[in-house]
Amino acid sequence: EDQVTQSPEALRLQEGESSSLNCSYTVSGLRGLFWYRQDPGKGPEFLFTLYSAGEEKEKERLKATLTKKESFLHITAPKPEDSATYLCAVQGSYNFNKFYFGSGTKLNVKP
């Protein structure tokens, strides 16, 4: 069964303190791995798509990487406005209409 596990559940950082969020997955043929940011009371906002092991994508202070079993979202020198819940989702080749989501990592960046 396709499955996504994110860790840690919550992460508290000081402003400027870099760290990484983990997304471990099992899927029957990875079609795509997606990262989203979700603010309280809002819908998820798309950040990145990764398709194959070794791929990397960057956007401002965020960098997403992918291996055959997991993805990392690296946050460099975070600011308080980076505080949000970060969601990971995978899409398998068997049924590409289904996106399987992890439960997210809630990031809190203190000034």
Partner 1 sequence: DGGITQSPKYLFRKEGQNVTLSCEQNLNHDAMYWYRQDPGQGLRLIYYSQIVNDFQKGDIAEGYSVSREKKESFPLTVTSAQKNPTAFYLCASSIDRSGTSPLHFGNGTRLTVT
Q: Among 63, 7, 13, 67, which Cα is nearest to 35's?
A: 63
Q: Is 24 an interacting residue with respect to partner 1 (CB under 8 A)?
A: no
From the list 47, 109, 55, 105, the residue with the least C-alpha distance to 77 is 109
Report the distance separating Cα 11 and Cα 54, nearest Å: 25
Contact between 78 and partner 1 by CB under 8 A: the answer reads: no
- The binder of partner 1 chosen from 4, 13, 27, 107 (CB under 8 A): 4
Count of residues touching partner 1 (by CB under 8 A): 24
> Which parts of this chain interact with partner 1 (CB under 8 A)?
4, 31-32, 34, 36, 41-46, 49, 87, 89, 91, 96-104
